[in-house]
Amino acid sequence: MARDIPPSMTTQQSLALGLLTPGRAGQIVRVDGALAGAGVLSADELERRLLELGFVEGARVEILHEGLFGHDPIAVRVDDMRVALRRREAQAIEVCFEDSKV
């Protein structure tokens, strides 16, 4: 996991889960349905569904795989389970890479 983070990046940096490439790992710092933009579900509903599937602040995540077409959907390790979702909804999850030990 550490190999994905350039040595210079030892300070905190956070990105939406929906933007990450396979192999990147980090810790969830924020789950906010509004970040995913308008969709079929309301921001609150999306947020609750993500939470119920284990996407909660503090959980460790790692992008495992992505689809062939448009790199979508993505398969994500969330703590000790795996979840598949589309990048669009994954935008609601903000991940931070604290240092190379994350």
Partner 1 sequence: MTSPALAPARIALVGNPNSGKTALFNALTGARQKVANYAGVTVERKEGHLTTPAGRTLSILDLPGTYSLRARSPDEAVTRDAVLGRLAGEHEPDVLIAVADATNMRLMLRLVLELKQVGRPFVLALNMYDIAQRQGLRIDIEGLSRELGAPVVTTVATRKRGIEDLVAAADALVLDHENHANTWQEPTAAQIRAAHGEAQRIMRTYVKPAERPDTLTGKFDSVLLHPVAGLVILLTLLFVMFQAVFSWATPVADLIGEGFGQIGRLIALVVPEGLLRSFINDGIIAGVGGVLVFLPQILILFFFIILLEDTGYMARAAFLMDKVMGKAGLHGRAFLPLLSSFACAIPGIMATRVIDQKRDRLTTIMVAPLMTCSARIPVYTLIIGALIPQRNVWGWINLQGLVMFGLYAVGILSTLIVSAVIQRVFWRTGSEPFMMELPAYKLPDAGLVARQLWQRAMIFINRAGRIILPLMVIVWLLSTFPYPPEGATGPAIDYSFAGIIGHAIQPFLAPIGFNWEMSVALIPGMAAREVAVGTLGTIYAVGDAEGAGAHILQGILATQWSLATGLSFLAWYIFAPQCVATLGVVKRETGSWLWPTVMFSYMIALAYLASFVTFQSAKALGWG
Instruction: Give the residues lining the site for partner 1 (CB under 8 A).
Output: 39-41, 44, 46-54, 56-58, 64-70, 72-73, 75, 79-86, 88-89
DSSP class of residue 20 equals P
For 40, the 3-state DSSP assignment is coil
Between residues 9 and 34, which has the closer beta carbon with respect to partner 1?
Answer: 34
The single residue listed with the structure tokens 């795996």 is: 82
Rounded Cα gap, residues 93 and 83, in angstroms: 13
Shortest gap between Cβ of 48 and partner 1 (angstroms)? 5
Helix (H) or strand (E) holding 48: helix 43-52
Q: How far is the CB of 15 from partner 1 (least distance, A)?
A: 20
Q: How far is the CB of 68 from partner 1 (least distance, A)?
A: 4
